[in-house]
Amino acid sequence: MQPISCTRIIGNKHNLVRAAVITATAQRASSQLYQVSQQRAGNGRMLLTGPYTGAADSVIDVEVLSGSAGALRASDPVVNGVGNGTLVVDSIDSGAAAQTLRFTLLDAGTSPQPAMLDFFGVQLAARAIGALGNSVSLSVTRGLTFTDLPFATLEKMSTGSNVFDGPQFDWGQPAATGADIPEGALRMSFTGLPTVHRSRKNWDSGRFVYKLDPPLAYDVPENTRIRQVSGDYTLTLTDGVDTEVYTAVTMYDFLTQLQARSALVQVLGVVAQDRAPGGQAVTDIPLRTDAHALPVIASATRGTATMQVGAVAVGAATQNVTVTCLGSGGAGAGGGQAWSVVGGVVGPLPAAFTGRLYTEGPVAFTIPQPSITAALVAAITARFAPTTRDKARACPRSVSNRCCWEPRRPTRR
Closest listed residue to residue 254, CA positions, set 214, 276, 287? 287
- DSSP one-letter code for 157: B
Residue type, 89: V
Burial class (CB in 10 A: 0-12, 13-18, 19+), 245: exposed
Q: Rounded to 5 degrees, what are φ and ψ at 7?
A: -120, 130
> What is d(CA 153, CA 212) in angstroms, rounded to the nearest whole number?
14
Look up the pTM and report it.
Answer: 0.61
What pLDDT shows up at residue 172?
92
Domains of the chain, by residue range, sit at 116-139+232-282, 147-225, 308-366
Residue 52's SS3 state is strand
Terminal alpha carbon distance of the chain: 168
Which contacts qualify for 389-394: CB closer than 8 Å, 24 or more apart?
A: none
> What is d(CA 385, CA 80) in angstroms, rounded to the nearest whole number?
107
Residue type, 198: R
Largest CA distance in the chain: 204
Handedness of CA 35, 36, 38, 43 (dihedral sign): positive
Contacts of 48 (CB under 8 A, 6+ apart): 33, 35, 60
Sheet holding 122-126, edge to edge: 116-119, 122-126, 265-268
Tell me if the bond preceding 182 is cis, omega within 30° of 0.
no
Where is 233: in which H helix or E strand? strand 225-238
What pLDDT shows up at residue 40?
77
Strand partners, 157: 220
Closest listed residue to residue 241, CA positions, set 117, 116, 128? 128
Q: For the segment 177-207, what is each residue's pLDDT rounded down to a tens digit? A: 888 999 999 999 998 888 999 999 999 999 9
Q: For the segment 3-54, what is each residue's pLDDT rounded down to a tens digit? A: 566 666 666 777 777 778 877 777 666 666 777 777 877 666 777 777 776 6
Q: Rounded to 5 degrees, what are φ and ψ at 393?
A: -115, 25
> What is d(CA 235, CA 219) in angstroms, rounded to the nearest whole number?
29
For residues 105, 109, 114, 120, the Cα torsion angle rounded to the nearest 10 degrees is: 170
Neighbours of 217 (CB within 10 A): 15
> What is d(CA 13, CA 325) in angstroms, rounded to the nearest whole number?
141
Neighbours of 335 (CB within 10 A): 13
Contacts of 355 (CB under 8 A, 6+ apart): 334, 336, 366, 367, 368, 369
Contacts of 255 (CB under 8 A, 6+ apart): 122, 267, 271, 280
Q: Are strands 175-176 and 308-312 parallel, antiparallel or unpaired?
A: unpaired
Q: Are strands 197-204 and 175-176 parallel, antiparallel or unpaired?
A: parallel
> What is d(CA 354, CA 191) in angstroms, rounded to the nearest whole number?
21
What pLDDT shows up at residue 85?
78
Closest listed residue to residue 188, CA positions, set 209, 211, 158? 211
> What is d(CA 183, CA 252) in angstroms, rounded to the nearest whole number?
14
What pLDDT shows up at residue 413?
47
> What is d(CA 220, CA 155) in angstroms, rounded to the nearest whole number?
8
User: How far is C-alpha 44 from the chain's CA centre?
Assistant: 53
pLDDT per residue as tens, the chain (413 positions): 565 666 666 667 777 777 788 777 776 666 667 777 778 776 667 777 777 766 677 788 877 666 666 677 787 888 888 877 788 888 888 778 888 889 888 887 887 888 999 999 999 999 998 888 899 999 999 999 999 999 999 999 999 999 999 999 999 999 998 889 999 999 999 988 889 999 999 999 999 999 999 999 999 988 899 999 999 999 999 999 999 999 999 999 999 999 999 999 999 999 999 999 999 999 999 988 888 888 888 877 766 667 888 889 988 999 999 999 888 766 555 667 899 999 999 999 999 998 899 999 999 999 888 776 666 666 677 777 776 766 666 666 655 555 665 555 555 54
